[in-house]
């Protein structure tokens, strides 16, 4: 793939490379439901969502979009969209309920039905092994701050690969380990809801270790043609002002938000400045000989999840996640503040800024030459509803998606090796601590009936895929 391949071939259309992957994405706990069926045991999100005050309106993922029972219907929706790829996650507690021991065949059978159905529809299955649903028994034993969890994850990866290795085209080890570590164990706004800076750093390291161990397990169990990947929610950062103090604020957040994963995975090292920044929190003695070599097991591509950038300045401010929560920015919370920026915002109150995606892709072009990139999540929540005729019109989402796809196209023109784009999300779903109050889907779900309806954005995306590009 070259930059020239991505240049517009007509004056009216921004055309993407011929083999560009057009996908959509979901996560198991957000859509599957069937929380107590066929041997599935509780995850940390089952426990967290049932804890009063943790999730808006007391919502849980017990039923969610009921994808577990409607998988054929949802594959038909994807076929109607024309996507080439579908990114889903495998629920660890559905396959290995306690995080130890043999796999549950009924759980694996669900993913066999899903992947077989996708392949029959001409859609490449892209499986994520971990999208935050740690088996509760492993959390009770210490969770991600406990080194043993990394070895249990590698065992689970091997079980999944042995069962589905002949069906899955791309394996992603982890989704957004930053959120799992720092929102789960630092600020506590995600499951399991713990608030310990040192535990968040321990969790981040053990997630890196788990990734490397899982890559080894996957390489030993899947066909050589299968791709192995990792997905990070890297932070697109800007300084408020061109000053040394604000530049240092960017450096600090980049260390604990980005390079804490990029450096171990791609360079086999910890960022020295991160170690210095976090010295008041930990001496990093939990990092053992060989861990960083393990974390740096070669992968075939890097997934990037992007929603909005952040502007930072020297100083202190509350956590950007929730103003009353502890900071997730271990080592930086006393030195950095997040600065609100003007402009349009989504229903999540996130700034709409496609330039941030372009900037991030070009940074990776420069920092990781030779590493193929895939935008594995990008999308927006808005206040969607069905009108009296039953239609769901979401022009704001169409505008958001158009602008961000144009930014991806521009990055390809500028030499970034971007191989695909996965729109978040296929379905309205359980949006973590926001419950069902936020809608990211291009397919509207009426939660009382679970009825699915294409939004305007779904029709728009189907047209983009069919044309291989979008109107300039």
Instruction: Report the catalytic residues.
Output: 176, 377
Structure tokens at 449: 């009936």
Tell me the C-alpha distance between 3 and 410, whole Å.
Answer: 9
Tell me the C-alpha distance between 164 and 109, whole Å.
Answer: 10
Nearest to 254 by CA among 226, 268, 273, 279: 273
Contacts (Cβ under 8 Å, ≥6 apart) of 350? 307, 308, 380
Is residue 23 helix, strand or coil?
Answer: strand
Pinpoint the alpha helices (H) of 221-350. 244-254, 260-267, 272-277, 291-295
Is residue 410 helix, strand or coil?
Answer: helix
Angle at 385 (CA atoms; ends 384, 388), nearest 5 degrees: 150
Contacts (Cβ under 8 Å, ≥6 apart) of 35? 42, 46, 60, 61, 62, 63
Contact criterion met (CB below 8 Å) for 213 and 294? yes
Name the strand (E) or helix (H) holding 421: strand 418-424
Tell me the C-alpha distance between 165 and 333, whole Å.
Answer: 43
DSSP-assigned letters across all residues of 450-465: TEEEEBHHHHHHHHHH
Contact criterion met (CB below 8 Å) for 48 and 193? yes
- Furthest CA-CA distance within the chain: 63
Sign of the Cα pseudo-torsion (158, 164, 170, 172, in order): negative
């Amino acid at each position: 793939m070259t930059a020239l391949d991505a240049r517009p071939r007509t004056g009216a259309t921004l055309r993407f490379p011929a083999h560009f992957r057009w996908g959509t994405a979901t996560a198991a706990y957000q859509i599957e439901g069937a929380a107590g069926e066929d041997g599935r045991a509780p995850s940390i999100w089952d426990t967290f969502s049932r804890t009063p005050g943790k999730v808006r309106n007391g919502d849980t993922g017990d039923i969610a979009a009921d994808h577990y029972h409607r998988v054929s219907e949802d594959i038909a929706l994807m076929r109607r969209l024309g996507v080439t790829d579908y990114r889903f996650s495998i629920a660890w507690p559905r396959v290995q309920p306690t995080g130890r021991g043999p796999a549950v065949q009924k759980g694996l059978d669900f993913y066999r039905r899903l992947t077989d159905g996708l392949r029959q529809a001409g859609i490449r299955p892209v499986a994520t092994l971990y999208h935050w649903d740690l088996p509760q028994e492993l959390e009770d034993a210490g969770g991600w701050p406990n080194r043993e969890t990394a070895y249990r994850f590698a065992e689970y990866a091997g079980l999944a690969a042995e069962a589905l290795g002949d069906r899955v085209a791309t394996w992603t080890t982890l989704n957004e380990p930053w959120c799992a570590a720092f929102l789960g164990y630092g600020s506590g706004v995600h499951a399991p809801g713990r608030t310990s800076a040192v535990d968040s750093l321990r969790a981040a390291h053990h997630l890196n270790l788990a990734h490397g161990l899982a890559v080894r397990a996957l390489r030993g169990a899947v066909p050589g043609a299968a791709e192995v990947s990792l997905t990070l929610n890297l932070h697109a950062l800007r300084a408020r002002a061109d000053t040394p103090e604000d530049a240092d604020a960017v450096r600090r957040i980049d260390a604990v938000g980005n390079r804490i994963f990029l450096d171990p995975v791609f360079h086999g090292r910890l960022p020295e400045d991160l170690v210095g920044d976090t010295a008041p929190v930990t001496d990093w003695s939990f990092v053992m000989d060989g861990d960083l070599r393990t974390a740096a097991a070669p992968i075939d591509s890097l997934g990037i999840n992007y929603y909005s950038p952040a502007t930072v300045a020297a100083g202190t401010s509350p956590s950007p996640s929730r103003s009353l929560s502890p900071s997730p920015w271990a080592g930086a919370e006393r030195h950095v503040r997040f600065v609100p920026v003007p402009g349009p915002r989504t229903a999540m109150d996130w700034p709409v800024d496609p330039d941030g995606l372009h900037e991030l892709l070009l940074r990776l072009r420069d920092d990781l030459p030779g590493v193929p990139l895939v935008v594995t999540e990008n999308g927006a929540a808005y206040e969607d509803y069905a009108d009296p005729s039953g239609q769901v019109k979401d022009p704001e989402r169409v505008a958001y998606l158009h602008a961000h796809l144009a930014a991806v196209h521009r990055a390809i023109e500028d030499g970034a090796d971007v191989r695909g784009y996965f729109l978040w999300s296929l379905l309205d779903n359980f949006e973590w601590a926001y419950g069902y109050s936020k809608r990211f889907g291009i397919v509207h779900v009426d939660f009382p009936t679970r009825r699915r309806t294409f939004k305007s954005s779904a029709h728009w995306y189907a047209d983009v895929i069919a044309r291989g590009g979008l109107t300039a």
